[in-house]
Structure 1
Amino acid sequence: MKLTRFFYLYPIVTFVFCSSTVFAQSLQQVKTDSVFALVQRFFNAKQADSIYALGGDRFKKALSRESFRSIADQQLFPMNDIKGSSLISFVNNNVATYKLIFEAVTLQLQMGLDQNNKLDLFLFQPFTQVTDDKLTPVSTTNKMISAMDKEVEAVVRPYMQKAVTVGLSIGILKDGQITTYNYGETARGNKQLPTSNTIFEIGSITKTFTSVLLAYYVNEGKVKLTDPITKYLPDSVAKNPALKQVTLESLSNHTSGLARIPDNLEANATDALNPYKNYNKQLLFSYLKTCKLNSQPGERYDYSNLGMGVLGTILSHISGKTFEQMVADVIAKPLNMQGTAQYVSVAKQTNMANVYNATGNVTEAWDFDVLAPCGALRSSVNDLMIYAKANMIPASDKLGKAIELTHHITFNKDAKMGLAWHIILVDGIEYYFHNGGTYGSSSFLAFNSQKNLAVVILSNSAENTDLVGTELLKKLQL
């Protein structure tokens, strides 16, 4: 049976939606499951209009009520009732995949909600059977000698034995000592363990680098956190009254009110597996000219890849450098982070892990244009441990002072924020935290200077690493 793909997910590069607790994913899943329960009830009652009413603005813009009703009547309802259903996965704290059992066929439904908990993704697909977890333990450099070795093994092993995971690198800074662990493979079947220098996509951890750049230029007197963004945008864009109260700080701490993703990104994506690749400055400015805000700037936390992209664009304009050049000059070179960059050199490409999607299939590493500051960097565990240590013990030089500024609390209502950093609680202990993800990778970074503890996790799978990271913090912070 041919299924019409009548709506699909607009891309995101983050797992974080509410930083007051790392268990926000469970809350979002509860909301998504609740909407799914309504979908299933209305589906079995053949109530197309009721399902359509669950849709958000993007959903309804992409598909009229009449078109949806026609698809439901001609393709969906003839399958008869949903006789059984189960959640297969919940990826990026946004996309739920449900297995649906009908009388004559088994399908899967991908569902995601917008910020108003309305349907934003609603896609029926042929059911993809995920294979059972690996029966043979994957290889590891963990010698399981020390107490910490054994704690890491206990937390990481269930993640690595999943069918969809491939490779993992972990770095732990505890009491001044750095220890690294590697599991699995850099590419499925190659029997090559990652090393602490293997390069991974780090996704939205990139945003913390972008905010260090902001803090650096603030300290240089080139910008102010309170500057309105219209001061640095072309006149044709700056005249949009919605942007007048958006500041550089609000871009960095996700209180700008800008949408998570510009609504002209999806329409201009030439590669569904590499959605940010061709989104350029012209498209960005075209969107900003007429965009509306979701909330009053400075009033509400609302995670925005778009906002961080705008911030990086402004900083590039001020510095006269590309995003990658700024990262290299301000952060990577001074810290000797040789494997951290937007683009992996030809010489280092063999050291980059392949990446695998939510079903465990190989996918593309992402490329970025103007939105690079929201998620384009690649790095290694060794480099991110250097970065974590530089955050825990900021130096007295220009870079150290910029890093220290990013830790200042700038928002503390529905989320507690520094500049890009989320301050989360893990068993009552506060950590500066960010994570990241693309269609084929997942990352985690958290640190607490007083506890002298930092954890970095890099995976070449879309399977979320947040639970692994927080469980390690719980065990190691004692």
Structure 2
Amino acid sequence: MRTKTVASFFFLFTFLQTAFCQNRGTDETVNAILTKYGKVFVKDKSISSATIGIYQKGEIYTQHFGELHKGQGDTPTDETIYEIGSVTKPMTGFLVAKAVLDGKLQLSDTVQNYLEGDYQNLSYQGDPITIQHLLTHTSGLPTFLPKAMGPLFENLNDDVPTQYFELEKQYDKTRFFEDLKSIQLVEKPGTTYNYSNAGVDLLGHILEQVYDKDIDSLLKENLFTPNQMENTGIHLPTTKLDNLTQGYWKTNTSLSPNQLNTLWATGSGAKSTIVDMLKFIALQLDQNNATVQESQRVLFEGEELLKVGYLWRVWGDKYGRSYNHHGGTTGMQNWLFIFPKYDLGISIITNQSGPKTPGKLSNTAQKILKALVKA
């Protein structure tokens, strides 16, 4: 898992109940494509299991492969809840887009406006960090706070899950703000893309400030409940926790601990099922939803075709403009792709995490996309 390496929807309630609860996709070609590439993916000896979902033109398809616990034969199901890591970020981006449209925020607002105390250090030669910089990973803030988390994902040894868990357990919001005061920017914000979970946590704090509600409530009220994502959240109710799975780091045979989410967790804390991820895809394909359209707007263009929206990676090629995000924890990884040109989205999740996993997920998704477009 490397940190540096897409009008309202309420009118779709009736559609969602039909598409997601009754009329599962029955297209034999689509199901055959899912089966083919899912089986190939779990043939990799390092992969324990996989869950793959496709949303295509109002229909959904899900299939599950492998086993959640090595040697136990327990294949995932539509009810399996996974940590989705940084795919939480586009959900946070959706909230920020709504806040902008609600008049609660402006992209040009400086983050110092939402912090108590002296944070003059969050400027460089008079140029302050703004909301837009946080959304586009151009703030100059570090990848992680605490900074000690950063080296874990450079060394990538077998003890990363335990070390990460211990650092997270000892960290809280008070220490976050203390560490934030120690940051020294080395260039003007908005200049360089540098992936920052710390910056997205700060967005969580700002959202709570402008709405005077905790982040879990904001996500539930504005995203999860309206779109019937009943099994998605940062801090899930205890009734859901039995379905929350764990995963494996690299070649470890012991399961990694789940994240504690002691901060706002707006960068990597959500958990979800494959069906809920497909509902999120359906929302992102709604061309009449003003918040969706705002959240997908490009806010930064960098080198090597890099484009960033409200925490979305934006891409353009022969498949048209698309939106994607990768997410990972020390036990799970997933990748989400949105292809508006084809009214199509792909979500692929595995309970195995390691430096090579993102490429394996992306390659499988690209093969599925190519096969679907040809079909």
TM over 0.5: yes
Whether the 8 Å contact between 2:314 and 2:323 is mirrored in structure 1 is yes
Establish whether residue 455 from structure 1 lines up as the match of residue 346 from structure 2. Answer: yes
Q: What is the rounded CA distance, in whole Å, between the counterparts of 1:14 and 1:340 in structure 2?
A: 24
Whether the 8 Å contact between 2:84 and 2:272 is mirrored in structure 1 is yes
Q: Which residue of 2 aligns with 1:173?
A: 55
Partner SS, residue 373 of structure 1: coil
Structure 1 segments of 4 or more deviating over 6 A?
none
Question: Which sections of structure 2, spanning at least 5 residues, go unmatched?
Answer: 7-25, 153-160
Aligned counterpart in structure 1 of residue 333 of structure 2, from 415, 419, 442: 442
1:322 positional shift:
2.0
2:275 maps to a residue whose letter is N
Provide the aligned length of Structure 1 versus Structure 2: 337
Where do 1:350-361 residues align within 5 Å?
Answer: 350-361=242-253
Q: What is the rounded CA distance, in whole Å, between the counterparts of 1:448 and 1:370 in structure 2?
A: 32
Aligned counterpart in structure 2 of residue 382 of structure 1, from 275, 296, 302: 275
Where do 1:208-223 residues align within 5 Å?
Answer: 208-223=90-105
Whether the 8 Å contact between 1:160 and 1:167 is mirrored in structure 2 is yes
Deviations 1:90-135 (A, max 9, x none): xxxxxxxxxxxxxxxxxxxxxxxxxxxxxxxxxxxxxxxxxxxxxx
1:343 positional shift:
2.0
Q: What is the rounded CA distance, in whole Å, between the counterparts of 1:394 and 1:287 in structure 2?
A: 41
Aligned counterpart in structure 2 of residue 261 of structure 1, from 144, 149, 152: 144
Q: Which residue of 2 aligns with 1:237?
A: 119
Distance 1:264 1:301, change over 3 A: closer
Partner SS, residue 308 of structure 1: helix
Whether the 8 Å contact between 1:186 and 1:460 is mirrored in structure 2 is yes
Whether the 8 Å contact between 2:259 and 2:269 is mirrored in structure 1 is yes
Partner SS, residue 450 of structure 1: helix
Q: Which residue of 2 aligns with 1:339?
A: 231
Deviations 1:267-307 (A, max 9, x none): 9x995142434422222211221212254211222111111
Deviations 1:25-47 (A, max 9, x none): xxxxxxxxxxxxxxxxxxxxxxx
Q: TM-score, normalised by structure 2?
A: 0.82
Q: Which residue of 1 aligns with 2:362?
A: 466
Q: Which residue of 1 aligns with 2:372?
A: 476
Establish whether residue 412 from structure 1 lines up as the match of residue 301 from structure 2. Answer: yes
Q: What is the rounded CA distance, in whole Å, between the counterparts of 1:383 and 1:209 in structure 2?
A: 12
1:173 positional shift:
1.3
Whether the 8 Å contact between 2:122 and 2:185 is mirrored in structure 1 is no
Where do 1:392-411 residues align within 5 Å?
Answer: 392-395=285-288, 400-411=289-300
Partner SS, residue 383 of structure 1: helix
Distance 1:353 1:427, change over 3 A: farther
Deviations 1:414-460 (A, max 9, x none): 21111101012465543100010011101111111121111011211
Distance 1:294 1:240, change over 3 A: closer
Q: Which residue of 1 aligns with 2:218?
A: 326
Whether the 8 Å contact between 2:52 and 2:346 is mirrored in structure 1 is yes
1:180 positional shift:
0.8
1:215 positional shift:
1.0
Distance 1:294 1:161, change over 3 A: farther
**Which stretch shows the higher mean deviation, 466-475 or 384-393?**
466-475
Establish whether residue 251 from structure 1 lines up as the match of residue 134 from structure 2. Answer: yes
Whether the 8 Å contact between 1:237 and 1:285 is mirrored in structure 2 is no
Greater C-alpha radius of gyration:
1
Partner SS, residue 235 of structure 2: coil
Q: Which residue of 1 aligns with 2:207?
A: 315
Deviations 1:197-244 (A, max 9, x none): 210000000011111111111111111111011111112234654485
Distance 1:318 1:277, change over 3 A: farther
Q: Which residue of 1 aligns with 2:19?
A: none
1:257 positional shift:
1.7
Whether the 8 Å contact between 2:90 and 2:310 is mirrored in structure 1 is yes
Q: What is the rounded CA distance, in whole Å, between the counterparts of 1:14 and 1:320 in structure 2?
A: 34
Deviations 1:323-370 (A, max 9, x none): 212111111111110100112322222212221111142111112122
Q: TM-score, normalised by structure 1?
A: 0.65
2:369 maps to a residue whose letter is L
Distance 1:360 1:409, change over 3 A: same
Distance 1:229 1:145, change over 3 A: closer
Q: Which residue of 2 aligns with 1:194?
A: 76
Whether the 8 Å contact between 1:252 and 1:419 is mirrored in structure 2 is yes
Relative contact order (alpha carbons < 8 A, sep ≥ 6): 1 or 2 greater? 2
1:147 positional shift:
2.6
Q: Which residue of 2 aligns with 1:44?
A: none
Q: What is the rounded CA distance, in whole Å, between the counterparts of 2:212 and 2:260 in structure 1?
A: 21
Distance 1:288 1:178, change over 3 A: same
1:371 positional shift:
4.7
Q: What is the rounded CA distance, in whole Å, between the counterparts of 1:469 and 1:426 in structure 2?
A: 15
Deviations 1:43-95 (A, max 9, x none): xxxxxxxxxxxxxxxxxxxxxxxxxxxxxxxxxxxxxxxxxxxxxxxxxxxxx
**Which stretch shows the higher mean deviation, 362-371 or 448-457?**
362-371
Whether the 8 Å contact between 1:170 and 1:182 is mirrored in structure 2 is yes
Whether the 8 Å contact between 1:364 and 1:440 is mirrored in structure 2 is yes
Q: What is the rounded CA distance, in whole Å, between the counterparts of 1:263 and 1:193 in structure 2?
A: 36
